[in-house]
Amino acid sequence: MAMPPARAPLQSLTEALALLLATVEPISATEVLATLDADGRVLAADVVSALQVPPQDNSSMDGYALRTVDVPAPGVEMPVSQRIAAGTSGAPLQPQTVARIFTGAPIPAGADAIVMQEDCLALAGSDAARVQVNVLPRSGQWIRRAGEDVASGAVVLAKGQRLGPAELGLAASIGMASLSVVKRPRVALFSTGDELVMPGTVAPQDMRAGAIYNSNRFFLNSLLRRMGCEVTDFGIVPDKLDATVQAMREASAAHDVILTSGGVSVGEEDHIKPAVQSLGNLDLMQIAIKPGKPFAHGKVGAAHFIGLPGNPVSSFVTFLLLVRPFLLRLQGVAAVAPVASKLRADFDWPRADKRQEFLRVRRNAQGGLDLFPNQSSGVLTSAVWADGLVDNPGGQTIQKGDMVRFISFAELLA
């Protein structure tokens, strides 16, 4: 009697991600957007400053500009010789006088320090405005130096930088009204499975036996858009080979990526595998992670194909761990690994799995992590309750008080 073929060993997440990223050729097409409209996009070229920021020495406080040599001790009284507001320019400072100055205003020639208004006393009853300086100033205090933020000719934002609020503000600070960015990845999204029902088409009480609402379509659509993708939703494709092949062929003609969920387990009877293989090539992976073991990648024409597991938490977590870095690299981002931190586990996890586990957890008021009680791959409420994942190595138990590797959803969903 013939023995069944031996299953290939499970691949580590690191190996699987390296293989996936090795297939990526970053998108070369670019477009120019108004800086105000470039949030979340990826720079296609370095942004070089044509000026220095700030353009001249300026005050970082409301107060008085003075010469430190004129204040040998606290309590010195001096007249106010001028008033300098932001957007104006003052005259050279006369010795033995101070200049009333406001935040952002240029430092007058001759002044070498700012004293905060809280450390001075405006004197009443004198013919000319006078102040008493009640601290001993240090040369350079409360002065922002020209170019201390940005030097002229410096690369302030590098090609491949994903743009957020701070990056857009920095670009605007050097006069960039528009930016060259990588075009959005075009992603075709669809689901297969006759058991799937779209919310709104059938009332809950009228659902047939075995039918389920298609939740994966909704969170995958949202995740793709957060990653800067242009999404075409093909909906639920009929569970037939010819319909699946037709959807794949149509999607591959105008998209960079085809993303599906369900039907990628080894040995599973479905139409995804033969449809992809009839039009291109397919690599079925079994990854040593929990949740999310089955994963598929291949090509349909020029388009990448990615098949996620069907269980909702498996699909959600696998997207974050594999598809997210893939899409970032497709847009030219070099650093695609999420940043993790060490936090204290306020729970026990005595049942070690051979696979690398990603546990849904939430930070508590004591600075530790609480565990969602049901870690099943079908319990999507765990992903809603949680604010991140514990990355637990295979074969590793956890005891209360252990320091564990925590990856925040704020990091993964940004």
Domain that holds residue 381: 341-412
Q: Is the pLDDT of residue 357 over 60?
A: yes
Q: Is residue 309 part of a domain?
A: yes
Specify whether 357 is located in the same domain as 304: no
- Tell me the whole-structure pTM to 2 decimals: 0.85
Specify whether 204 is located in the same domain as 301: yes
Q: Is the pLDDT of residue 15 over 80?
A: yes
Specify whether 198 is located in the same domain as 301: yes
Q: Is residue 118 part of a domain?
A: yes
Which among 285, 303, 330 is the end of a domain?
330
SS3 call for 68: helix
Specify whether 267 is located in the same domain as 357: no
Q: Is the pLDDT of residue 309 over 70?
A: yes
Residue 17 C-alpha from the chain's centroid: 18
In whole numbers, what is the pLDDT of the chain averaged over residues? 92
Round to whole Å and give the CA distance between 337 and 322: 10
Q: What is the pLDDT of residue 8?
A: 65
Percent of the chain with pLDDT over 70: 95
Q: pLDDT (tens digit, 9 = 90+) per residue, 228-254?
A: 999 999 888 888 889 889 999 999 999
pLDDT band with cut points at 50, 70 and 90 for residue 414: confident
Specify whether 67 is located in the same domain as 40: no
Q: Which of 296, 293, 227 is nearest to 261 (CA)?
A: 296
Q: Which residues of 201-220 are buried (b: 16+ CB within 10 A; e: fewer)?
A: eeeeeeeeeeeebbebbebb
Q: Give the Å distances, CA to CA, from 345 to 30, 249, 402, 403.
A: 45, 48, 6, 6
pLDDT band with cut points at 50, 70 and 90 for residue 127: low
Round to whole Å and give the CA distance between 217 and 319: 12
Q: pLDDT (tens digit, 9 = 90+) per residue, 50-96?
A: 999 999 999 999 999 999 999 999 999 999 999 999 999 899 999 99
Specify whether 134 is located in the same domain as 253: no
> Is the Cβ–Cβ distance between 261 and 312 less than 8 Å?
no
- The CATH number given to whatever domain includes residue 178 is 3.90.105.10
Tokens 């494709």 belong to residue: 237
Specify whether 42 is located in the same domain as 165: yes
Q: 183: which 2 tokens? A: 């075009």
Tokens 């931190």 belong to residue: 341
Q: Is residue 193 part of a domain?
A: yes
Specify whether 118 is located in the same domain as 157: no
pLDDT band with cut points at 50, 70 and 90 for residue 200: confident
Q: 143: which 2 tokens? A: 């002065």
Instruction: Give me the number of domains the chain comprises.
Output: 4
Q: 77: which 2 tokens? A: 């009284």
Q: Is residue 101 part of a domain?
A: yes
Q: What is the pLDDT of residue 183?
A: 98
Across 103-117, 235-249, 326-340, 398-412, least confident range:
235-249
Q: Is residue 42 part of a domain?
A: yes
Q: Which of 260, 333, 238, 299 is nearest to 40 (CA)?
A: 333
Tokens 């010819």 belong to residue: 242
Q: 88: which 2 tokens? A: 């104006």
Q: Is the pLDDT of residue 134 over 80?
A: yes
Listed in sequence order, the DSSP H helices in 60-198 are 165-173
Half-sphere exposure of residue 205: CA atoms within 13 angstroms, side-chain side? 0
